[in-house]
Amino acid sequence: MKYTIIILMLIFNSCTDMLINDETYKSVNLKGGSWIEFQSADIQDYLNNNFTLQLWISGNTNSSNNAKTLLSILNDNDNSIIFGLFRNTSIDNSLDIYLPNGDIETISNDNLNWSQISFNLITITSESLNDGSGDSTIKVFINDAEVFQSQPINFNIGDNNLIIGGRVNTSQTYADNFWIGLIDEIRLWDYPLTTDEISFHMNNPTKLNVSSGCSDSQYNNLTSCEEAGETWSGIYSDDRLDNLVGLWRFNYNSPQYNILDESCTELNLDSGVSDDSECNDINGVIYTLPGYSVQFSKLGF
């Protein structure tokens, strides 16, 4: 991993696929030398408390042995990793988890194959302890399986940005270990989703929450309402949608470097939020280094 002085270049049409007919894009294809950045001022109030961060992500063929970054939060003072998920350099079906206490854990899962295009749901949850310590328990899920649970740790990102797809510091004077592959959707909740809710998202990737037409008592032991002989009403439970604070789908009709938050739109449609002050957009930005490009793709889950 090396230091790099960065000249930032926002991507535009020359770095993207061309649209065909009236189809829309479904995902962003990171090809190295690029990342998605969310400002600390927008996300720190959520990531310092109870939260869930979900990403539908795929790897792609690449011969480099670099530890490609799924996500990272760096201490801008010394570029140390506060929290991060990295593709393991030795085991193709594994992730390295960098924790705020300095520990590094490696987890493996048979569903992962970072050398090909195959989407998996990666979920990180943080649940605060009720002992007044301010510590949290971090869990990591691959698809619907819990693969890691930390000991209580202090999770505080400070004034550091959230980076998807690269190991980049907030001042943008250091950048390395870029992801190679596609990201279909990112979701941020101000609540630690339960195992049942994560399983629901895994089995119903286009749904944000269980339909109001699906009985809670039946849902607890089912992967979908259809298994109970019920149909989707298209209306989602307001209770959980109120916890949705960030939604980035990449479903654009034309390439763009501003990654717009769709969570407020979802709340306005389904939860009756009418006052814009009740919901704040958290928009991200795609950056690339000179000589690199980002594509938008029609591939997705």
CATH topology of domain 9-190+243-297: Jelly Rolls (2.60.120)
* Residue 239: both structure tokens together: 């209770």
Task: Indicate whether 216 pLDDT > 60.
Answer: no
d(CA 201, CA 258): 26
Q: For 44, phi and psi rounded to 5 degrees?
A: -65, -30
pLDDT in tens, 59-71: 887 656 677 999 9
**Lowest mean pLDDT across 33-37, 157-161, 230-234, 275-279:** 230-234
Residue 285 amino acid letter: V
pLDDT at 245: 92
* pLDDT on residue 146: 95
Mean pLDDT of 248-257: 81
Query: Does position 20 have pLDDT exceeding 60, yes or no?
Result: no
pLDDT at 19 over 60: no
pLDDT of residue 35: 96
Band (pLDDT 50/70/90 cuts) for residue 227 is: low
- pLDDT top residue among 106 and 298: 106
* Residue 84 scores a pLDDT above 80: yes
Q: What pLDDT does 274 receive?
A: 46
Higher pLDDT, 256 or 7: 256
Task: Tell me the β-bridge partners of 108.
Answer: 94
pLDDT of res. 153: 93
Provide the pLDDT confidence category of residue 266 given band limits of 50, 70 and 90.
confident
Q: Are 167 and 177 in contact (CB under 8 A)?
A: yes
Is the pTM higher than 0.85?
A: no
Please check the confidence at residue 187 and state whether its pLDDT lies above 90: yes
Domain segments of the chain: what residues? 9-190+243-297, 192-232
Average pLDDT over residues 257-273: 72
Minimum mean pLDDT range among 18-22, 42-46, 268-272 = 18-22
